[in-house]
A and B are shown apart, each in its own frame.
Chain A
Amino acid sequence: MSMLELRQVSKVYGLGATEVHALHDVSLAVAPGAMVAVMGPSGSGKSTLLTIAGSLEEPTSGQVLVAGHELTRMSRNDKARLRRQSIGYVFQDFNLLPGLTAAENVALPLELDGVSARKAREAGLRALTDLGLADRAPSYPDQLSGGERQRVAIARAVVGDRHLLLADEPSGALDSENGEAVMRMIHTACKRGVAAVVVTHDAQLASWADRVVFIRDGHIVDQTVPAPGPESLLGQDR
């Protein structure tokens, strides 16, 4: 079963003469453990695709399924719970709370969901440790570099049982070294079973994904074909 499935999703903003078709009949399936990058120019609909996949916005038509549950058929409360418990978001500007340590920031979504403070802290520390950030747990956001803040934001996005990670230009404000560290980390989370959709215009970052989907004017126009192993490149020109 796919962790995320979009079936013929369309999104129209405005009405009549001012109508803008942000997405046309977009279908996309992401299996557990898979990392999919969505590449396209600004205004192509890639961010709309992500907000609809994360149930932050309703599609005009079509269906969205997260872990087999159809979002469009869920009550507002059920949808909010699914969003809290299954989906993690990463944005360009980190969105960490400045008054909380890295560990507290990561634990926060679980605490908000009613998990006891002690269990939430344990899960938060586990998420940081899994992603190689255990030593940063007691630091406050202003004591972390931009790259570290984004990595903490990724740990927060996958804390607990969150198995769908949605990231919009997660390394947009970072230099190439930190951008790579962020993508490496998302890649690591995927190896542990998380399904990830990363929206980016940067080909180097997109190339960390198992599959790259190209979007233009609201249509998915193309996608990469899974390549054979790296050996095929090393063998060239011999």
Chain B
Amino acid sequence: MSIRHALLALLSEGPKYGLRLREEFEAGTGEVWPLNIGQVYTTLQRLERDGLIESDDDDEQDSPQKRFRITAQGDRELAAWLRTPPDMSSPPRDELVIKVLVALLVPGTDVREVIQAHRRYLVELMQQWTRIKDADAGRDLALGLAVDAELFRLDAVVRWLDAADGRIRRAALEPPIAARDDLPRLKRKAGLAR
């Protein structure tokens, strides 16, 4: 998450001191993404410089004792950010996808065994997240949302592995069919070729 916008969101509730902002940032994300305290104060300085927040006085005192409030410009920036979808148009360079693709090329490699090694790791991670969810029992909304996001993300990767497993199994049984003329362009879009 953008620290800049997290701080604006916390200040949208009312003026706060630097130290309190840091504590609330950690609590607000369910302590899932701990934060370097240094980042809070440098980000606050930048937000003030950009006119998105302002502080009580012009003293050169340390940020922990300084009180900040959001400006009208900061409110507009925050509202715009909340409604701007993050860029998800191009596939990220996914290390796991690359490993499975490379495994197909390495002679003597059982790709389905490679897939299973990754599947087991992901399910083990999901078991740990589910234990966190179970221990919390729905008390902490932010934690519940963050854990769900992680579980759905990992689940999507497991589903991809399941689909890859099936696709590789079928490909071994069926003869290859002729490639389409526009394949190079499609491959570029999928991040498989330059």
Contacts and interface: CB of A to CB of B under 8 A. Distances in A.
Partners in one complex: yes
A41 B112 CA distance: 13
A174 B48 CA distance: 49
A208 B131 CA distance: 7
A14 B158 CA distance: 33
- Sorting the interface of chain A by its residue count into under 10, 10 to 19, 20 to 34 or 35 or more gives 20 to 34
B132 A225 contact: no
A167 to B, nearest CB: 17
23 contacts: A41-B162, A41-B165, A203-B122, A204-B130, A207-B126, A207-B130, A208-B134, A212-B123, A214-B116, A214-B120, A216-B112, A216-B116, A221-B116, A222-B116, A222-B120, A224-B127, A227-B124, A227-B131, A230-B132, A233-B128, A233-B132, A234-B31, A237-B34
- Taking chain B's interface residues, is the majority helix, strand, or loop, or is none over half, making it mixed? helix
Nearest to B135: A230
B69 interface: no
A203 B116 contact: no
Interface in A88-130: none
Interface residues of B, number: 30
B134 A184 contact: yes
A11 to B, nearest CB: 21
Interface of A: 39, 41, 184, 187, 201-204, 206-209, 212, 214, 216, 221-225, 227, 229-230, 232-234, 237-238
B166 interface: yes
Max chain A C-beta neighbours (<10 A), residue from B34, B126, B129:
B126
A233 B129 contact: yes
B159 A232 contact: no
Given A39-B123, A203-B158, A230 B131 contact: yes
B126 A229 contact: no
B132 A203 contact: no
A128 B68 CA distance: 53
